[in-house]
Amino acid sequence: MINSIRPTTRDAIIDAAFAVFSKDPSAALSEVATLAGVGRATLHRHFASREELIRQLAKIANEEMDQAVEAACADVASYSEAARLSLQALIPLGDRFGFLELEPLEDDPDLKSAYDRQKRETEEMAEAAKGEGLIDPAVPTSWVVQAYDHLLYAGWESVKAGETTPEQAADLAWRTLTTGLGTPRK
């Protein structure tokens, strides 16, 4: 007899929450409970509030995004290549995590620490890419970081709207970051 692997109740709630909130960030917890196959009381035994559940989803999202970038960039030879591969690794995750960009999560010390670390890493990548000649050194690093983050979000939104595939969105984000929106000149 084959024994099927059944996720824990907590894992089922988390998976259901990602599925429900990625489609409708304002969905009720009752929708999460229904999709997870549990009652609201069970959901609340695992997560006392919507805010606690959202914080847990954000922590998982940060871990999974870090893992995706690390895997994509394991053998890169330059920071410029790491920047491109990071976009390619992160844009497909927007369908699952994009809704978290709109959540006010700055009050959680663990999440703030993770966001600050990710920002520092993006700043370091931008500075190194400047040194490699990819980005004009006259462009402030803070501008590059904001552009990178906003292009990532634009990619997530474009895929979510069905306008592009993740690959197309990553290519467009990279093109915009590296050459702008102008027509290529000959």
Cβ neighbours around 126 below 10 Å, total: 24
For residue 37, what are the CA distances in angstroms to 46, 60, 153?
A: 14, 21, 31
184 pLDDT band (50/70/90 cuts)?
low
Q: Is 175 contained in some domain?
A: yes
pLDDT at 147 > cutoff 80: yes
Q: Which domain holds residue 161?
A: 76-179
Q: Is 70 contained in some domain?
A: no
The three-state DSSP-derived secondary structure of 62-129 is HHHHHHHHHHHCCCCCCHHHHHHHHHHHHHHHHHHHHHHHHCCCCCCHHHHHHHHHHHHHHHHHHHHH
Q: Is 104 contained in some domain?
A: yes
Q: Is 47 contained in some domain?
A: no
172 pLDDT band (50/70/90 cuts)?
very high
Please tell me the pTM assigned to this model: 0.82
pLDDT at 1 > cutoff 60: no
Number of domains making up the chain: 1
Quote the pLDDT of residue 105: 73
Residue that the structure tokens 């997530």 belong to: 156
